[in-house]
Chain A
Amino acid sequence: MAVIIARTLIIYFSLLVTMRLLGKRQLGEMELSEFVLASLAADLAAIPLQDTGLPLLNGLTAILVLFCCELLISGLTFKSIRLRALFCGKPSLLIVRGRIDQREMRKNRFTLDELMEELRGQGCTDISQIEYAVLETDGQLNVIPFPAERPATAAQLGLDAGPGGYPTIVVSDGRILEANLRHAGRDLAWLDRQLRDRGFENAAGVFLMTVNRAGQVYFAPKEESG
């Protein structure tokens, strides 16, 4: 058991350092320690499952150690900026005021093709229109155009965008979600009226019904199966 703990810690921190040195590109949408945990945990769980001769505790101990390490590291990085920079790295500015920072590109092993691909993916084709392109610690590239190139907001145009709000699901596949209904500030009597207005006796025939704070309702009846 002690050997398993020591081996898990060694592998965990070796992977953490290796992945940290490899750069952000490898990560996808996970933080570094999450990526390491995800890479290891699945394999560790599979080994005792495949080999019934091995005690399940071998896999469980290693998974528990990883779980503790991940919680400790995420807690420590939350508290300390220095540790956050050490374990997660810092965001890198690949484009600053329309100019590509080639040193940062090399440092992050980010090729020009990859940069262009990412920019195209975000609807940018002209680098001179980009104020900043930030390679985040989770490997995502965020692009911030110059203010003049940003889409105008309703506020900037002096328009009334009207009330919006997050749509809350109140009926899902024929089931009434009462907690969501309460959260949306509505009750069953309101739902009943809405259903009757649409020619339904009850929620059984409703596939999806949502309501936002402004009271806008989205209604989708169930389709006949077969």
Chain B
Amino acid sequence: MILFFKIAIQDIRTNRFLNAVTIITIALSILIVSALILFFVNANDYMNSWKKGIKIIAYLKPDIVEANLVDIKSKIQGVYGVAETDFISKEEAMKRLRKQIKRQSSLLDGLKDNPLPDAFEIRITEQSANSEKIENLAVQLESLPEIDDVEYGRKWIGRFVKVFELFKLTGYAMSGIFFIAAVFIVASTIRLVIYSRREEIEIMRLVGATDRFIKVPFYIEGIIQGALGGIIGLAALFATFIYISTNVEHGLSSDLLHVRFFSLRLSCTIMLCSMLVGWLGCFISLRQFLKE
């Protein structure tokens, strides 16, 4: 193995230009794919924070007395998918309504009685944040005898969840397509390297070298190229990220948009993928070349 490493390092040194071209190709591919992944990671975070904000309002029947509220609350919290419950009294609801309609709040002055019902504001768990589960949860809440009606943005949630799922799927598909494209671009570049060294490979074969002996240094070269390309690609992305996030976060409220870079684990995964791209590019090119 030491010998193969020695040969690989020597080959990288002697074929500097073509190796640099391959490394830059890998770096650009990694930069594009990881920029896409970074966008999806942040978009995913943003969507998750939206999901956490989904609420269900359960209106209580008018004849419920205050003494039963604790019992009703524990019944609601016993329903699967409920994360938190907050009691909103009819007085509190009126206050909120007045606040919401501000200028038109004088319209409410003519009311003799408060027509708003007491209610529970229910936050759901993250796992239950899809339209089917929310609907099931609403049905269960409605079946409680103390509850008059349940309200949630049925249509809005349905659409939102579908868009979110589509968004995720698009992310996976695009990353996959870019990964495959990167492999083929790298394979073509490596084919150029191999083609420039065809005479050397032919001589190696003539002196009795096995295909394995020829291939292994190329594979090591591919992995080294992949690692270097990955480091350059990720470093370029990090620099761009720092530049953009500093400017964007200055311009926008940090509550609205908080962006983050890859975790160490995800960075390592991208590096491994980059090495895999280098190796796979070599594998495809060599397989074709040695067959000829």
| Chain B binds chain A | no
Q: Which residues of A contact B (CB under 8 A)?
A: none
